[in-house]
Amino acid sequence: MHEISVVDNLIKILEKICEENKAKKVIKINLRINPYSCLDEENLNFIFSSITKENEILRKARIFIKKDLSPFEREYIIENIEMEV
């Protein structure tokens, strides 16, 4: 259930960024996560693709995770977003 809320928040952020940048397509989302986070790349991508399958801009995007070394960071941080404008 937790991963669904993370994906939901991520989609809201992406939609705002895409609107501001007039993006045609999001290709890649790089997240840095806390080493103790329970977030899983495969599950996040499954949930993300299920929710965005009707969204032309987001539907083919993939989420990539890199574990951070600091346990004091937030659970996840968007490092960068690769998009086509």
Q: What is the pLDDT of residue 82?
A: 94
Residue 33 sits in a domain whose CATH number is 3.30.2320.50
Cβ distance 84 to 23 under 8 Å?
Answer: yes
Q: What is the pLDDT of residue 52?
A: 94
Domain, as residue range, for 31: 2-84
Which residues of the chain register pLDDT less than 50? none
Q: What is the pLDDT of residue 61?
A: 96
**Which secondary structure element, helix H or strand E, spans residue 63, and what is its range?**
strand 62-67
Whether this model's pTM surpasses 0.95: no
Cβ distance 57 to 4 under 8 Å?
Answer: no
Q: Give the chain's domain count.
A: 1
Q: What is the pLDDT of residue 1?
A: 58
Q: What is the pLDDT of residue 28?
A: 96
